Structure 1
Amino acid sequence: MKSLTFSVLRHLSSNEFSSGEAIARQLGVSRGSVWQALQDLDQHGIQIFRLAGRGYRLAETVQWLNRDEIHAALGDNIRLIQLEVVDIADSSNSILMQKAALGAAHGSCLAVELQTHGRGRRGRTWHTSLGGSLTFSLLWRFSQGASFLSGLSLAVGVALMRALEQAGIRDTYLKWPNDVLHQQQKLAGILIELQGDMLGPSAAVIGIGLNLKLAAPARANIDQAATDIASIQTNLPNRNHLLALILKHLGDVLLQFEAEGFGKLREEWRRHHFYQDKPVCMLLPDGSTHHGIVTGVAEDGALLVRGADGERRFTSGEISMRSDA
């Protein structure tokens, strides 16, 4: 999507129609350029209402990310975060990984209005719609090696749960190792990518996607059960305030993780785990399955499952409720 397309978007309202001629005059471009920008919106699944003689308007209001508003909401935590907000990117994680390799500062955060090729766990695509989600990545540098970071995705899950609870978003749970659920449907996901040596130092790029209000095209492209905050409650939180709240809790948890590891956060994570003490089926990367009862997680974040052959540790695999339970 071109920069002009976003300029046109920001001139459109969900309440009043704007003519193409008026938009062109305000932006200092040709009427043809505006028409091309509107075609670009169609290709990205952004719904625009058109009415002959009146012009164009957005199908729904967009609450734009605002760096100054996020900074104000961060308060004292602003010292931990160096925030950049961009209109469009293929993947916030991919961009921040590149910047990390070039020496980007600790605490660098990239928030994206519209992500076109977001990535999830196991190669899945993270689908978003304009204004309907929070998609951002945070770079955190550690003096410890990459081997120390094995429980990091679970620690980030704890931070997300704290933020959602403080925002008044109830009945959410964690799913090992890196999802947030509501009624067994995915509300948010975590993707962590590492750089550095096993012995240190190392860096983690922490990507988070949170569904606020999924548009129909985005929902249709998702290949798993998914939900959004709009399906949980009537009033949607302010995107800027919610992002700041998540970043606050992320900063607190990451400082604790850096000092103490995942061990001190393990019991809090366990309380939020949807599958705790439940019969599950583990689908392993080699295609085999293992049945048992979830007993918890180890200090390194490994899932503990007690089966017929005793308790086993899992560091990879897909967890689901056992169908014969």
Structure 2
Amino acid sequence: MKPLTFALLRLLTDEQYHSGEMLAQRLGVSRASVNNALQGMENYGLTLHSVPGRGYCLIHPPQWLDIALISLHLGAQLDPFRIEIFDSLPSSNTLLLQRAQLGAPCGTVLAVEWQSNGRGRFDRAWHSGLGNALTFSLLWRFDLGVSALSGLSLAVGVALIRALHSLGMTAARLKWPNDVVGRNNEKLAGILIEAQGDMLGPSAIVIGIGLNLSLPAQILPRINQPVSSLADLFPCPPPIPVPERNCLFACILRELRSILSGFGEGGFPVLREEWEHHHAFHDQKVRLLLPDGSTRTGITRGVNDEGALILETSDGIQTLHSGEIGLRA
């Protein structure tokens, strides 16, 4: 998506009709450039009406991320966050990993309105439209080595659950090892942890999070797994709007700050019971998809202090670390 497109979309956030001529004059471009820049908006999950004689109208415009609003919501808890917002990036995790190598400070946050190459576990693509998801990466530095950070992805899941539940979305639950799911166990959010550093420390961890706020019909055909959004968690009727995007972002950052600050001291064991309480598949029969293509079935019996899944099988109790393992009901 071109910078001109973002500039035009921001001029159309009032849901009123604006002529192509007026938009061209405002931005100092040609009328043809305006038309070209606004083509294919449906590919980004947007609905743009174009009416001859009236101009363009953007229906349900995005809630744009705003550093000033996020900072206002964070208040005294703004430190240590250093937030940067991009209109478009291939991947916020990739860029932040590069910046981490160059010495970016702990608390650096890169948020993106639209990612062209967002990714999750197994290098799966993360698909979302423009403004209907939160996609961001956070850099956190630990004095500990990478080997001492077992269970970190589960701890981040607890932070997300705390934030969502505090805003009334109590139907959100966790799925081992690093997903948040909705009422029907459909994926609501994903967590991607990537690490730099030595086994004995220090280490730099980039935490990538993608959270669906809503799911435009145009985006769904690209997604190859059951998915959900925050909009699905609210009762309807009457319709209750999803929390304002900047407020939601600040709430998540606040909980991440609390969890990560404590993780360096107590690790995952102090969060283990809380994580198990919110696990969607606790004490349920599941099927695990193993890296070699085989499957294993059993009943989940919680997780251990390293965040590994405890599975009761016909052969006894087994402990499985996340790695490349998938979990299904």
Q: Quickly name the TM-score band, shorter chain normalised.
A: over 0.9
- Per the alignment, residue 65 of structure 2 pairs with 65
How big is the shift at 1:39?
2.4
- Per the alignment, residue 176 of structure 1 pairs with 176
- Per the alignment, residue 150 of structure 1 pairs with 150
Moved over 2 A (4+): 39-47
Report SS of the residue matched to 1:217: coil
Paired with 1:92 and 1:177, the residues of 2 have a C-alpha distance of: 21
Paired with 2:177 and 2:109, the residues of 1 have a C-alpha distance of: 22
Residues 106-158 of structure 1 show CA distances to partners (whole Å, capped at 9, x for unaligned) of: 10001111111110111111111111011111000111111111210000000
2:12·2:61 contact (CA, 8 Å) conserved in 1?
no
Number of residue pairs matched by the alignment: 321
- Per the alignment, residue 237 of structure 2 pairs with none
Report SS of the residue matched to 2:282: coil
- Per the alignment, residue 221 of structure 1 pairs with 222
- Paired letter, 1:134: L
Residues 32-70 of structure 1 show CA distances to partners (whole Å, capped at 9, x for unaligned) of: 221221126466453311101111111322211110000
1:14·1:60 contact (CA, 8 Å) conserved in 2?
no
Q: 2:244 aligns with which of 226, 238, 247?
A: 238
- Per the alignment, residue 208 of structure 1 pairs with 209
How big is the shift at 1:208?
0.6
2:154·2:307 contact (CA, 8 Å) conserved in 1?
yes
How big is the shift at 1:170?
1.8
1:67·1:84 contact (CA, 8 Å) conserved in 2?
yes
Paired with 2:158 and 2:318, the residues of 1 have a C-alpha distance of: 23
Paired with 1:42 and 1:60, the residues of 2 have a C-alpha distance of: 12
1:116·1:128 contact (CA, 8 Å) conserved in 2?
no
Q: Does 1:294 align with 2:305?
A: no
- Per the alignment, residue 55 of structure 1 pairs with 55
How big is the shift at 1:75?
1.2
- Paired letter, 2:275: W
Paired with 2:79 and 2:23, the residues of 1 have a C-alpha distance of: 39
Residues 215-242 of structure 1 show CA distances to partners (whole Å, capped at 9, x for unaligned) of: 1121221100001111221311100000
Residues 271-322 of structure 1 show CA distances to partners (whole Å, capped at 9, x for unaligned) of: 000111111111111111111111111111111101111111111311112x
How big is the shift at 1:14?
5.4
TM-score if structure 2 supplies the norm length?
0.95
How big is the shift at 1:90?
1.1
How big is the shift at 1:81?
0.7
1:14·1:59 contact (CA, 8 Å) conserved in 2?
no
- Per the alignment, residue 326 of structure 2 pairs with 318
- Paired letter, 1:148: A
Structure 1 residues 53, 65: CA separation in 2 closer, same or farther (over 3 Å shift)?
same
Report SS of the residue matched to 1:208: strand
Q: Between the two proteins, what is the percent identity of the paired residues?
A: 50
Paired with 1:215 and 1:25, the residues of 2 have a C-alpha distance of: 31
Structure 2 gaps of 5+ residues are 235-239
Residues 3-33 of structure 1 show CA distances to partners (whole Å, capped at 9, x for unaligned) of: 1111011111352111110001111222222
2:45·2:130 contact (CA, 8 Å) conserved in 1?
no
Paired with 2:156 and 2:281, the residues of 1 have a C-alpha distance of: 18
Structure 1 residues 44, 130: CA separation in 2 closer, same or farther (over 3 Å shift)?
closer
Kindly report which structure 2 residues correspond to 1:190-201, keeping only aligned pairs within 5 A, or say none. 190-201=191-202
TM-score if structure 1 supplies the norm length?
0.96
